[in-house]
Amino acid sequence: MLIDFKQIHPVTGPGMNHGAGEMTARIVENSHGKFLINRLHPYGSIGIHTQKNGCEINYVISGSGRAICDGKEELLSSGCCHICPEGSSQIIENTGIDDLVLFTVITEK
């Protein structure tokens, strides 16, 4: 299966899950899960949410930020990969002045 994110229309809106600021995402959803290129704009965030049906994997393409998963803080920078296991809760925040760009995979069971 090939996903060409350049062919997917970006959607801009408030940070997911009642997060702060704005984000822009290109989203593909199918029976395998969700695949996203997320751009958390400066000081934006994805609010606290629980992974109910699988895990969430966030690979940092560029920018800087932090993830808080079950109360444990992890600093995010280009080349890092943050994984939030099923049943865990997380927040992701852009702490920088540039977009925090993530390739996100949410597995589905």
The residue extents of the domains of the chain are 11-107
In this prediction, residue 109 has a pLDDT band, given cuts at 50, 70 and 90, of low
Percent share of the chain, pLDDT over 70? 99
95 pLDDT higher than 70: yes
d(CA 27, CA 42): 20
Q: What's residue 31's pLDDT?
A: 86
d(CA 41, CA 26): 14
Q: What's residue 90's pLDDT?
A: 95
Query: What CATH code would you report for 11-107?
Result: 2.60.120.10
Q: What's residue 1's pLDDT?
A: 83
End-to-end CA distance of the chain: 18
In the predicted model, what is the mean pLDDT of residues 67-86? 96
Instruction: Kindly report whether the global pTM for this prediction surpasses the value 0.85.
Output: yes
Q: What's residue 29's pLDDT?
A: 93
In this prediction, residue 26 has a pLDDT band, given cuts at 50, 70 and 90, of very high
